[in-house]
């Protein structure tokens, strides 16, 4: 079984110890009036995910304030 969440990239922090490393902070979407976000907000009203990316090519996949689906499944 898997669970899908929808998160918005709310912050990109440049880390001092490595010029290419950045911390990405995602927050669960809010009920902004769209039907899809209202659905996700109903089941995941709050939440935050933080990860550090140290790969410039991977960073090209992320855009501040853009929304992303996050899938959780057993490993």
Residue 10 maps to a domain: yes
Can you say whether the dihedral through the CA atoms of 61, 63, 67, 72 is positive or negative? positive
Residue ranges of the chain with per-residue pLDDT less than 50: none
Quick one: pLDDT at residue 50? 98
Region at 6 (left for phi over 0; alpha for psi -120 to 50; beta for the rest): beta
Beta bridge partners of 4: 71
| Structure tokens, 68 | 């992303």
Angle at 3 between CA 52 and CA 22, to 5 degrees: 10
Q: Which domain holds residue 35?
A: 3-70
Quick one: pLDDT at residue 60? 96
Residue 16 maps to a domain: yes
Please state the domain count of the chain: 1
Residues constituting the chain: 75
Residue 75 maps to a domain: no
Quick one: pLDDT at residue 53? 97
């Amino acid at each position: 079984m898997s669970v899908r969440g929808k998160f918005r990239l709310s912050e990109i922090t440049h880390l001092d110890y490595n010029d290419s490393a950045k911390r990405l902070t995602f927050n669960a979407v809010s009920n902004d009036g769209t039907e899809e976000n209202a659905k996700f907000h109903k089941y995941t009203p709050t939440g935050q995910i933080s990860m550090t990316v140290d790969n410039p090519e991977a960073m090209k996949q992320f855009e501040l304030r853009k929304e992303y689906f996050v899938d959780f499944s057993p490993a």
